[in-house]
Amino acid sequence: MGATSGQGRQAGGTPRAAMADLLAGNRRFVSGQPVHGHDVTAAAAASGDQQPYAVVLGCIDSRVPLEAIFDQTFGAICVIRTGGHVLDRAVRGSIEYVVGQLGVPLVMVLGHERCGAVQATVEALRIGQRPGGSLAHLVDEIAPAVTEAGIDDPAVLPLAIRRHVRRTVRTLRQDDLLAGPVATGRVAVVGGLYDLATGEVALLDPG
């Protein structure tokens, strides 16, 4: 995990500054003008103590490489990816570590359009058949968002994707070790949605 630090990448880093940096990087990505080449010299430069300014929890979808879409170089952000950005104890513990030990001020939960994990959950609920193995855990965790969206709604997939992002955000805001920093404003937990066609990230209101 690397050495610990009580500060974010920028001394006195705030959720607002971290958000501005992430979204500015996304605008560079969308415009085709990234400033980080992700070459070996950048890796070497970041080989000392890590001082990231954000942690991004996203989906494993290969079309959504988080460092690339936010145009971030080595050492800038911590990335966690699971199917449908589903939480488990390891994911929550990792976020708690980054916030508590590395001083990161921003946690972003990033969903994306046409998410296969959410689609699989919609299909499982429609046929009434829970998948086997650990895939069942993903379906179980996403299912409440699908139910809330309405399994028979023609727009259930995009609606459920957004609801699932918001539910994940709420869960993290209420986490035992995150609730305090969130309440004081030292840390923000926000949700976003990535558009596969345009590359743009839009922030989601709490809902």
The phi and psi torsions of 201 (rounded to 5 degrees) equal -110, 125
Query: Residue 95 burial by CB count (10 A; 0-12/13-18/19+): exposed, middle or buried?
Result: buried
Residue with token string 């971030």: 72
pLDDT tens digits for 19-34? 999 899 888 888 878 8
More confident residue, 6 or 87: 87
DSSP for 161-205?
HHHHHHHHHHHHHT-TTTHHHHHHTS-EEEEEEE-TTT--EEEEP
Which residue type sits at 188?
A
> 3-state class of 114 per DSSP?
coil
Which of the pair, 184 or 32, is modelled with greater confidence?
Answer: 184
Q: What is the mean pLDDT of residues 138-154?
A: 97
Give the predicted TM-score (pTM) of the model. 0.86
| Type of residue at 41 | T
What is the C-alpha end-to-end distance of the chain, expressed in Å?
A: 34
